[in-house]
């Protein structure tokens, strides 16, 4: 059989082969020929480029060469800063070479390096997406962010010292995540809402927000589809927000140990959006007040439902939801430890379009659940593959190497992928 040289393959084949390589190998092979480099440039532009991966794997001179060669191709970059800031010397390679960045993820363990942030922003004026994971963001950093005219997505969650000053200058903003920014001033969010048309807003754990803020959101945000809120605010009734006209996805962080107004948010949501809500996530702590689930039963068009870490979730309530919401494709009950194997089997038989079932952190489930799932799938009219997440249950990963598992994998797949269940991003 005649062998084929690498250079004789077409670009589609080469791109597929190069996709399988380690990042450093991709970067090195791109230096071998202009044709290879063109393909590697295209691959780099599609994914988030991890700056730390390069500096940790290559000596400084080689890292500098890589950024000189590939900097213009980088569109998305992740810049995590270690506790000991030995990387800061190399981090200047980014603003020097990466001037086409449209998405940047900063991760600062303690203080935010203002100088590096400023240089990156000055070099890449077309940045549209900014994520800043840290705890030390202040208003002067927000002023710096506000100088980027093209920003559409801003995630600055859990930065408790910012007040939101200057952010109303981001006229193209579509997605805003300020979860846990508990000093964010109501008037500044109102200014932002009057200046923009948001598609997604995360204001969970922003306890200063009140009736005035909620009313302005209603008056200005007639394009909003995705809303993430706490179930309680000391000075505001969130029922108002259930009236947003184009809501499709709602997440409620259902825990509060401070005084707050009672709410019937789910009931109002069902009245206003019985036919339009596609996704509902309810996150709650063990200290949460028991909620009424009746409103969920009227959301007939739900495709995804998550009820996370709910000590009160019973078989009856779960199956009621699944019977009434017949179009469900994904069900997530991570951390709900009262639901039984029998109920899960019934759920799989009942929900005809089910594709994903998340049972992570459900410690009541062991290997015997697998037999319930197989039996349920065999009698279900749903012929598509069901993926079940079971990390941190009592199911053993060795089950996936058994002949029985391999026999049934075509319609039932177990995943032991790790995931933090108490995490919700608006991106």
- 3-state SS string for 42-79: HHHHHCEEEHHHHHHHCCHHHHHHHHHHHHHHCCEEEE
Question: Average pLDDT for residues 218-229, to the nearest whole number?
Answer: 97
DSSP letter string, 327-340: T--EEE-TT--S--
pLDDT at 128 over 50: yes
pLDDT tens figures, 130-163: 999 877 899 999 999 999 999 999 999 999 999 9
Is residue 32 one of the residues assigned to a domain?
yes
Question: Average pLDDT for residues 9-14, to the nearest whole number?
Answer: 90
Q: Tokens 């951390």 sit at which residue?
A: 335
Domain count, the chain: 1
Question: Average pLDDT for residues 112-139, to the nearest whole number?
Answer: 92
pLDDT at 288 over 50: no
Strands 330-332 and 304-308: parallel
Residue 110 confidence class, pLDDT cut points 50, 70, 90: confident
pLDDT at 427 over 80: no
Is residue 25 one of the residues assigned to a domain?
yes
In the structure encoding, which two tokens stand for residue 241, read together?
Answer: 């927000």
* pLDDT at res. 165: 97
DSSP letter string, 349-382: HH-TT--EEE-TT-TT--THHHHHHHHHHHH-S-
Is residue 2 one of the residues assigned to a domain?
yes
Is residue 417 one of the residues assigned to a domain?
no
Contact 207, 258 (CB under 8 A): yes
pLDDT at 265 over 50: yes
What integer best gives the mean pLDDT of the chain? 90
Contact 247, 277 (CB under 8 A): yes
Is residue 86 one of the residues assigned to a domain?
no
pLDDT tens figures, 324-362: 998 999 999 999 999 999 999 999 999 999 999 999 999
* pLDDT at res. 295: 84
Is residue 58 one of the residues assigned to a domain?
no
DSSP letter string, 125-153: TT--EEEEE-S---HHHHHHHTT-TT--E
Question: Average pLDDT for residues 17-40, to the nearest whole number?
Answer: 94
pLDDT tens figures, 154-188: 999 999 999 999 999 999 999 999 999 999 999 99
Question: Average pLDDT for residues 43-64, to the nearest whole number?
Answer: 90
Tell me the percentage of the chain whose pLDDT exceeds 70.
91
Residue 258 confidence class, pLDDT cut points 50, 70, 90: low
For residue 7, give its domain range: 1-46
Q: Which residues are 203's β-sheet partners?
A: none
Is residue 132 one of the residues assigned to a domain?
no
* pLDDT at res. 278: 98
- CA 144 to chain centroid: 25
* pLDDT at res. 101: 98
* pLDDT at res. 8: 79
* pLDDT at res. 255: 67
Residue 293 confidence class, pLDDT cut points 50, 70, 90: low
DSSP secondary structure letter of residue 409: T
Residue 425 confidence class, pLDDT cut points 50, 70, 90: very low
Question: Average pLDDT for residues 190-203, to the nearest whole number?
Answer: 98
Residue 311 confidence class, pLDDT cut points 50, 70, 90: confident
Residue 252 confidence class, pLDDT cut points 50, 70, 90: very high
Q: How far apart are the first and last CA of the chain?
A: 50
Residue 25 confidence class, pLDDT cut points 50, 70, 90: very high
* pLDDT at res. 413: 97
Is residue 238 one of the residues assigned to a domain?
no
């Amino acid at each position: 059989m005649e062998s084929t040289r690498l250079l004789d393959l077409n670009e589609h084949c080469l791109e597929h082969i190069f996709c399988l390589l380690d990042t450093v190998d991709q970067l090195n092979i791109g230096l071998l020929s202009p044709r290879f480099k063109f393909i590697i440039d295209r691959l780099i532009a599609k994914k988030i480029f991890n700056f730390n991966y390069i500096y940790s794997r290559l000596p400084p001179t080689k890292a500098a060469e890589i950024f000189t060669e590939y900097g213009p191709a980088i569109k998305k970059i992740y810049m995590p800063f270690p506790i000991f800031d030995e990387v800061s010397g190399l981090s200047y390679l980014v603003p020097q070479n990466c001037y086409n960045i449209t998405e940047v993820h900063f991760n600062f363990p303690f203080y935010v390096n203002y100088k590096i942030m400023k240089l990156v922003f000055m070099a890449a004026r077309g940045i549209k997406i900014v994520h800043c994971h840290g705890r030390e963001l202040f208003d002067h950093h927000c002023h710096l962010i506000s100088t980027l005219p093209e920003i559409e997505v801003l995630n600055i969650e859990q930065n408790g010292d910012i007040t939101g000053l200057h952010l109303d200058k981001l006229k193209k903003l579509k997605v805003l995540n300020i979860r846990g920014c508990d000093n964010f001033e109501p008037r500044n969010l109102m200014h932002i809402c009057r200046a923009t048309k948001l598609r997604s807003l995360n204001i969970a754990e922003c306890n200063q927000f009140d009736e005035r803020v909620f009313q302005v959101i209603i008056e200005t945000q007639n394009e909003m589809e995705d809303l993430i809120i706490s179930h309680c605010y000391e000075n505001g009734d969130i029922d108002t927000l259930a009236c947003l006209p184009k809501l499709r996805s709602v997440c409620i962080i259902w825990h509060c140990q401070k005084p707050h107004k009672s709410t019937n948010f789910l009931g109002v949501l069902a009245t206003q959006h019985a036919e339009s809500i596609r996704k509902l996530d309810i996150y709650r702590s063990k200290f949460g007040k028991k909620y009424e689930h009746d409103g969920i039963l009227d959301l007939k068009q739900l495709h995804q439902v998550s009820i996370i870490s709910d000590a009160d979730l019973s078989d009856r309530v779960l199956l009621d939801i699944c019977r009434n919401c017949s179009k469900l494709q994904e069900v997530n009950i991570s951390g709900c430890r009262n639901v039984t194997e029998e109920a899960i089997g019934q759920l799989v038989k009942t929900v005809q379009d089910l594709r994903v079932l998340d049972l992570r952190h459900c410690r009541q489930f062991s290997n015997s659940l697998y037999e319930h799932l197989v039996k349920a799938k065999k009698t279900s009219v749903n012929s598509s593959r069901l993926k079940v997440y079971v990390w941190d249950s009592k199911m053993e990963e060795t089950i996936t190497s058994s002949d029985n598992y391999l026999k049934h994998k075509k319609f039932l797949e177990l995943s032991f992928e790790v995931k933090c269940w108490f995490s919700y991003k608006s991106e």
